[in-house]
Structures are given as C-alpha cells and as structure tokens.
Amino acid sequence: MRQLVLSPRWIMWHLLTIGAMVTCGLLAAWQWHRAGSSMGSALNVGYGLQWPVFALFFGYMWWRMLSMEIRRIRGELPEHPWDADPEPEPEPVVAAPAVATGPSPFGPRPVRARPVQADEDPEMAAYNRMLAELAARDND
C-alpha cells in the first residue's frame, strides 16, 4: 500500500486535496473575519460555516477514492465498474391500460361545429356573427 500512497498519481491527489482543504480553511477564516467587521452580515457567518464543510467533503472524497483504489488492488473490486457481473434485469411490469371516465380532450374533433343559436347565448351568437362577417370580408 505504501507504493500506492507514494505513487506520482496519488502524490498529486494528496497535494490537490491538501491545497483544497487549506484554501477552504483560509476562506472560512476570511469570512469569519469579515463577519466581525462593520461591513459583515449573517451571510458572512453562513459562508464561514460553509467553507469547513467543503473542506471536510474534500477530505472525505480523498479518503473514499484512496480506499476504493486499495480495495481494487486487493481484488475486492473489479478493475472497472463495467467489468462487474451484471445483475439480472427485472421483468418489465406492464400496467393495465387506464379506462377513460369521460370524453378525452385529445380525441377526434367534429369537422364542423354547430353555431351557437341566439336563444342559447345571445353574446356568443353575436360574437360568432362578427367572426363570420370578418371571415367573409377576408375572402372577398
């Protein structure tokens, strides 16, 4: 395992992780300092609390990647995820078709709708007459 931890690839990962964690710590300290100044606000306090969480995340991901690499070398994990034995695919579930309870708005439309009669809705009938006059004018 010492060869893995001291390999050039992992030395670069160690340096990147340490750099990211130190940067997050410096940003947290800056935000705390800023929160205590006359221009500070609750937003700075929130950022001051958030940056250490980011640093912990970087550390956790470094540890997770290192432990996965160790498990892969020991043979506990496959070389690549796609080399693992695939799990059998489950049988597809076929749902019963839904039964419509009323007329569908997506069904066929009548070719010609019946105009509204004046005794049914006088305003609608007047509107339809106006539309018919406009259509006749456009056709002329």
Chain segment 77-113, per-residue pLDDT in tens? 776 666 666 666 676 666 655 565 666 667 666 566 6
Average pLDDT over residues 51-55: 96
pLDDT at residue number 99: 61
pLDDT at residue number 6: 84
Residue scoring higher pLDDT (52 or 37):
52
Mean of the per-residue pLDDT values of the chain: 81
pTM of this prediction?
0.53
> Looking up tokens 């579930």, which residue turns up?
93
Which distant-in-sequence residues (6+ apart) come within 8 Å of 10 by Cβ? Answer: 4, 66, 69
Q: Contacts by 112-119 with C-beta closer than 8 Å and gap 24+?
A: none
Q: Is 26 helix (H, G, I), strand (E, B) or coil?
A: helix
Beta-carbon neighbour count of residue 140 at 10 Å? Answer: 4
